[in-house]
Amino acid sequence: MEVPVNYLAVSASGVAAMILGSVWYGPLFGKQWMAMMGLTPEKTAAMKADPAAKKKMMRSYGLMFLGALVMAYVLSHALAFAQAYIGSKGAMAGVSVGFWNWLGFIVPVTMGSVLWESRPWKLWALNAGYYLVQLVMMGVILALWK
């Protein structure tokens, strides 16, 4: 079965993921995230003033965008499967595909940060929550964009 990929919807999903990340790790939960990561305002200011750190941060944003595009592309295939074989349709198909992919892939993989890297569960919940919203949002965009 050839999966028709809507590359415009995939691109929009990637952009939406970056916007969500800037809001999630900015005004919504930025202070909590920084505290759990051990980042102080002084460390952040020093990083912003360092040209090498700024360049690294821009590369990181670029790679995150690329990762979001890959995630949306793969999610579009899961959505096509759900629509073709399960008969799932509309926004709820996107919500369902986003949720199940989050539960099956993101949750188990990201738990390693708590189990092996001694990160707090609150940090895991904040990051996992971001990916849940991201995948559901992408799923809805992909499902509704005709």
Q: For residue 2, tell me if it sits in a domain.
A: no
What band does 2 get if pLDDT is binned at 50, 70 and 90? confident
Does position 1 have pLDDT exceeding 80, yes or no? no
Distances in Å between the Cα of 140 and the Cα atoms of 8, 60, 68, 100 are 14, 26, 15, 13
Q: What is the mean pLDDT of residues 84-89?
A: 84
Q: For residue 54, tell me if it sits in a domain.
A: yes
Is the pTM for the entire model greater than 0.85?
A: yes
Cβ atoms 75, 142 nearer than 8 A: yes
Q: Greater confidence, 84 or 137?
A: 137
- Quick: pLDDT tens for 8-34: 999 999 999 999 999 999 999 999 999
Q: For residue 1, tell me if it sits in a domain.
A: no
Question: How many domains, the chain?
Answer: 1
Q: For residue 40, tell me if it sits in a domain.
A: yes
Q: Which domain holds residue 30?
A: 7-144
* Average pLDDT in the chain: 93
- Quick: pLDDT tens for 101-140: 999 999 999 999 999 998 999 999 999 999 999 999 999 9
Angle at 127 between CA 121 and CA 132, to 5 degrees: 115
